[in-house]
Amino acid sequence: MEDYESLTAMERGDEDCVLRFADGESFRIGYLSIRKRCQCAKCKPRQTNDQRRLEFEEEIERFRMEKPRAEVVGRYAIRLEWPSGCSSGIHAFSHLREIAEELGTRL
């Protein structure tokens, strides 16, 4: 794992979080943005093409926003358990970095 991909802190708010990485970069990102990019066996197949991804994202946006439970998995990932469903997604730090750069706000 590259140093820039190592997550050093996750400061959790009610609707979003701040992800801090080992290279000093920090991003604010909404939980829904992370959920829309879930790579678990249930969610990933629903993102195989643009149409399916759009339908999946629209479904996610209809959920009531609830703060997910977070659990560190080893030294490489975080498991997020969403009150409205998915709880098997393990988000590797490298995956979180990609999401943060694409959908987050650099601080």
The Cα 97–Cα 23 span in angstroms is 11
Model pLDDT, residue 87: 67
Q: What's the total number of domains in the chain?
A: 1
In which domain, by residue range, is 27 found? Answer: 3-106
Asked if pLDDT for residue 88 goes beyond 80, the answer is no
Amino acid found at 28: R
Encoded tokens for 103: 């959908």
The Cα 7–Cα 25 span in angstroms is 10
Model pLDDT, residue 10: 93
Listed in sequence order, the residues at least 6 apart from 81 whose beta carbon sits closer than 8 Å to its beta carbon are 68, 69, 70, 71, 87
Model pLDDT, residue 3: 61
pLDDT digits 0-9 by tens, 12-71:
998 899 999 999 999 999 988 888 888 887 888 888 888 988 898 888 888 777 788 899
The CATH number assigned to the domain holding 36 equals 3.30.2020.30
The Cα 103–Cα 107 span in angstroms is 13
pTM score of the predicted model: 0.82
